[in-house]
Chain A
Amino acid sequence: MSTAKFPNSAAIAGVYEHPSRFSPNKTEFQIMAECAKGALDDAGLTREDVDGLFGASMSMGMMGIVDLAEYLDVRPDYLDGTNIGGSSFVSHVTHAAAAIHAGLCSTALVLYGSTAASNAMAIGTGGTDGSKNPDTAFSAPYGMTTVGSYAMYANLHMSKYGTSSEQLAEIAVTMRRHAGLNPLAKMRTPITVDDVLESRLISRPLHLLDCCIISDGGGAVVVTSLERAKDLRTKPVHLLGCGEAVQHQGVGDSDLLTIAAKQSGQAAMEMAGIKHSDVDFAMVYDSFTITVLATLENLGFCEPGEGGDFVSNGGIGLGGPLPVNPDGGGLSSNHPGMRGIFLVIEAAKQLRGECGDRQVTGAEIAIAHGTGGTIGDKHSGATLVLGTDR
């Protein structure tokens, strides 16, 4: 029996990112199954080793995780279909580590798959039609959109701190530069700040190029005990800290600029016992440019209001003080509806030193933060601190 303390009793033993960005002839579950194979092969494990199943998708509802188990013909000892939006998979890794630490399962598979692009989903600008849904009863009558919610966050930030559209554009430009180094990325042609500012406005102040792309895709992560991971095919990625949080409108009195990342990030970093200066790179959910700025401020990498300067002048680029999303992120690599799993996959690959042209030099400690839902309305946040065996 391991004497390791949580969280450093579990590790990521295998990862796989589906290479496709457009899969009109595949289903969500097929993509998940292909990813499961990829991640298990990566770990040197098989389907029979899996006794914990974790997953969520745009269409999985009640019984979704049971449907997925049937599709894969697995009968795991532990199931978790938590769906808190795009951050779900970051959260699944935490839940898997906890279940493994508690002895409830030994090898967990975390899965995501989506055909958002080939279904032609209007994810950001499809308004809510749910006047009857208690959840949207007070937003549907007012034409709330996902991008509109983020745009209200951005406008408030600009008004309070003088943050500019140029500074937000720098984030999109940096993500595109990173994508140019990632052979799998969907959008690889470099863009400039002017390109972003000249792209059409979707919801002011956010332009088309401030918004993530829509792709198909999927991914898988294998989590197992650190002890077991040490005997497997690939170098274990240690789980050093984790945290989860929610933020919402409360009774109509919450501070819009304080997002869940503040609470979950602090918890994860305290658990890991690290300082901001220890972090070599960050994987940040980049649904929109403003999401990156908001997350970096709330994680404490800069003071509130200083995010605009922080992301400018190469601050979040490869070779800069805190490289963010070396894969090109959701803004340029892939965004199949829910992106959290790719934050974990890229973090693990970087920590294993497998990223070629986009490799972060000396990557030993990573922070990954997923946002689910919308920061201008209500959302979840999940943070992981991951590291190499130092």
Chain B
Amino acid sequence: MNSITHPSPYASWETRGFWEGAGRDELVLQKCNTCELIQHRPRGVCAHCLDSSGLVHFVASGRGSIYSYTVTEQNQAKGFAEACPYIMAYVTLDEGPRLLTVIVDCEPDAVEIGVSVVADFVSQERDDDERFAIPVFRLV
């Protein structure tokens, strides 16, 4: 199987911290210092306080476990069609939130719900000055 050619992420000012962090090989999450909420996906405000005064980015451990997954056998989308079968998964991070990702360097039959995974980062070639990467996960 070919590896996935990920569509390049688009960083709005709300999501920039996540994609820039990945560009530094860091899995970046948001935390609200007012109410202690850790949230993903990133937002311009803490979803519970509805303001940004306590909201900060922090570098998460990049560790977690597979919450669920599917081996995608068919996806016509560019960058994925050639990579089928690929493993799409929800990973529950040690910090709490769950995120959607793909599991790489893993045979489809080797993946299981509950197994430990760690983040890796796929750099993006871009025609601008941005340095982004896509966080993916591999089995520990």
| Interface, chain A (partner B; CB < 8 A) | 122, 125-129, 131-132, 134, 137-145, 147-148, 151-156, 159, 200-206, 249-253, 256, 376-377
Cross-chain contact of B97 among A141, A153, A252 (Cβ < 8 A): A252
Please, how many angstroms separate the alpha-carbon atoms of A122 and B74 in the complex? Answer: 11
A252 B98 Cβ-Cβ under 8 A: yes
Please, how many angstroms separate the alpha-carbon atoms of A144 and B6 in the complex? Answer: 11
B40 A252 Cβ-Cβ under 8 A: yes
**16 sample A-B contacts, Cβ–Cβ < 8 Å, listed by A number:** A126-B77, A127-B80, A137-B9, A140-B7, A143-B79, A143-B102, A153-B68, A155-B69, A156-B67, A202-B73, A204-B73, A204-B85, A204-B108, A249-B98, A252-B41, A376-B68
Question: A203 and B72 in contact (CB under 8 A), knowing A127-B80, A251-B40?
Answer: yes
Q: Which residues of A contact B86 (CB under 8 A)?
A: 143
Q: Which residues of B contact A204 (CB under 8 A)?
A: 70-71, 73, 85, 108
Is B38 interfacial (CB 8 A cutoff)?
A: yes
A129 B7 Cβ-Cβ under 8 A: yes
Question: A252 and B68 in contact (CB under 8 A), knowing A129-B77, A142-B102?
Answer: no
A143 B80 Cβ-Cβ under 8 A: yes
A251 B71 Cβ-Cβ under 8 A: no
- Which chain B residues numbered 7 to 64 have a C-beta less than 8 Å away from chain A? 7-10, 12, 14-15, 37-41, 47-48
Q: Which residues of A contact B101 (CB under 8 A)?
A: 142
A sample of 8 more A-B contacts (CB under 8 A), given A145-B74, A203-B71, A250-B47, is: A138-B99, A141-B134, A143-B79, A148-B72, A155-B68, A204-B71, A204-B73, A376-B68
B15 A137 Cβ-Cβ under 8 A: yes
Question: A138 and B41 in contact (CB under 8 A), knowing A131-B10, A143-B77, A252-B97?
Answer: yes
Cross-chain contact of A131 among B7, B47, B68, B71 (Cβ < 8 A): B7
Q: Which residues of A contact B74 (CB under 8 A)?
A: 125, 145, 147, 202-203
- For residue A156, which residue of chain B has the nearest CB? B68
B95-135 vs A, CB cutoff 8 Å, 1 = contact: the mask equals 01111111000001000011000000000000000000010
Main secondary structure of the interface of A (DSSP, over half): loop
Is B139 interfacial (CB 8 A cutoff)?
A: no
Please, how many angstroms separate the alpha-carbon atoms of A68 and B90 in the complex? Answer: 40
- For residue B86, which residue of chain A has the nearest CB? A143
Chain B interface category by residue count: 35 or more
Please, how many angstroms separate the alpha-carbon atoms of A377 and B69 in the complex? Answer: 12
Q: Which residues of B contact A139 (CB under 8 A)?
A: 100
Cross-chain contact of B12 among A137, A154, A377 (Cβ < 8 A): A137
Closest Cβ of chain A to B22, distance in Å, is 10
Please, how many angstroms separate the alpha-carbon atoms of A144 and B79 in the complex? Answer: 12
Q: Which residues of A contact B6 (CB under 8 A)?
A: 141-142
Question: A256 and B90 in contact (CB under 8 A), knowing A138-B41, A148-B70?
Answer: yes
Question: A143 and B4 in contact (CB under 8 A), knowing A156-B67, A251-B47, A252-B98?
Answer: yes
Please, how many angstroms separate the alpha-carbon atoms of A203 and B86 in the complex? Answer: 10
Q: Which residues of A contact B113 (CB under 8 A)?
A: 155-156, 159
- By Cβ-Cβ distance, the 5 closest A-B pairs, closest first, are A127-B77, A252-B97, A151-B70, A251-B39, A156-B68
A252 B96 Cβ-Cβ under 8 A: yes
Please, how many angstroms separate the alpha-carbon atoms of A156 and B92 in the complex? Answer: 13
Question: A127 and B75 in contact (CB under 8 A), knowing A252-B98, A253-B98?
Answer: yes
Please, how many angstroms separate the alpha-carbon atoms of A155 and B90 in the complex? Answer: 11
- For residue B4, which residue of chain A has the nearest CB? A143
Please, how many angstroms separate the alpha-carbon atoms of A148 and B77 in the complex? Answer: 13
Q: Which residues of B contact A125 (CB under 8 A)?
A: 74-76
Q: Which residues of A contact B4 (CB under 8 A)?
A: 143
Q: Which residues of A contact B76 (CB under 8 A)?
A: 122, 125-127
